[in-house]
A and B are shown apart, each in its own frame.
Chain A
Amino acid sequence: SQTIHQWPATLVQPVGSPLSLECTVEGTSNPNLYWYRQAAGRGLQLLFYSVGIGQISSEVPQNLSASRPQDRQFILSSKKLLLSDSGFYLCAWSVSGATDTQYFGPGTRLTVL
């Protein structure tokens, strides 16, 4: 069966510090991968998605970036965090295909102080 992992689970970082959140998927090959952000009390905002290694699509202009160094690894990064980057970050995967179900990881709670 497929599983998705995210770490860290919780992170507190000062403004201006770098960020690296990692997501890995097990039990499947060539998944579509997604990064979402959820601000407190709000819905999900798609940040990035990837349909293959090195293929990253950005949905929202910001100081965040994403990379996919391996087939089942998706990384969300920032060189300098802003207060507005605080939120809950969710990684998801789906089988390659246009309308397949997305399965979510446990998420990372990021607080920027």
Chain B
Amino acid sequence: AQTVTQSQPEMSVQEAETVTLSCTYDTSESDYYLFWYKQPPSRQMILVIRQEAYKQQNATENRFSVNFQKAAKSFSLKISDSQLGDAAMYFCAYPQGGSEKLVFGKGMKLTVNP
């Protein structure tokens, strides 16, 4: 079965510091997307960043960047200059078997300390 694993259920970071959230996945596909979603207390899922597996370059969106290691099937999210508003649940996801269906990890709760 194809799976997504977020091994750290919770993390905390000091405001303005950097934190890295880990994610590993298992797929037999060669071309796919990977996603990080954020779920703040409002519970709406918000797309943080998307990585295309065929691209060598790691995706970056402002303070958010990924470290994509295709061979290792690893897709970590780095948050730089952490802000209080970054506190949320973070979910890693990828399309199951290249289909329309996303498989989500169990999520990781990030706390940002002032």
Query: A103 is contacted by which of B42, B47, B95, B106 (Cβ under 8 Å)?
Result: B47
Q: Is B19 an interface residue (CB 8 A)?
A: no
Tell me, in angstroms, the Cα distance from A7 to B106 when the chains sit together: 26
B102: A residues at CB distance < 8 A: 44, 46, 102
7 smallest beta-carbon distances between A and B, as pairs: A104-B45, A43-B106, A99-B95, A44-B104, A99-B33, A43-B104, A106-B44
Are B107 and A98 in touch, CB under 8 angstroms? no
Are B47 and A107 in touch, CB under 8 angstroms? no
**Chain B residues proximal to chain A, CB less than 8 Å:** 32-33, 35, 37, 42-47, 50, 91, 95, 98-102, 104-107
Q: List 17 A-B contacts (CB under 8 A).
A: A32-B100, A43-B106, A43-B107, A46-B102, A51-B100, A59-B101, A90-B44, A90-B45, A98-B100, A99-B95, A101-B33, A104-B37, A104-B44, A106-B44, A107-B43, A107-B44, A109-B43
Q: Which A residue sits closest to B35, measured CB to CB?
A: A101
Tell me, in angstroms, the Cα distance from A112 to B100 when the chains sit together: 30
Q: How far is the CB of A71 from chain B (nearest CB, A)?
A: 16
Q: How far is the CB of A53 from chain B (nearest CB, A)?
A: 16
Tell me, in angstroms, the Cα distance from A98 to B32 when the chains sit together: 9
Tell me, in angstroms, the Cα distance from A102 to B98 when the chains sit together: 14
Q: Mark A87-110, 1 if CB is under 8 A from B, else 0.
A: 010101010011111111111010
Q: Which B residue sits closest to A92, measured CB to CB?
A: B45
Are A99 and B45 in touch, CB under 8 angstroms? no
Are B91 and A98 in touch, CB under 8 angstroms? no
Q: Is A49 an interface residue (CB 8 A)?
A: yes
B99: A residues at CB distance < 8 A: 98
Known: A42-B106, A42-B107, A104-B44. 4 other contacts (CB 8 A): A34-B100, A43-B104, A43-B107, A49-B100
Within 8 A of B (CB), among A46-76: 46, 49, 51, 59
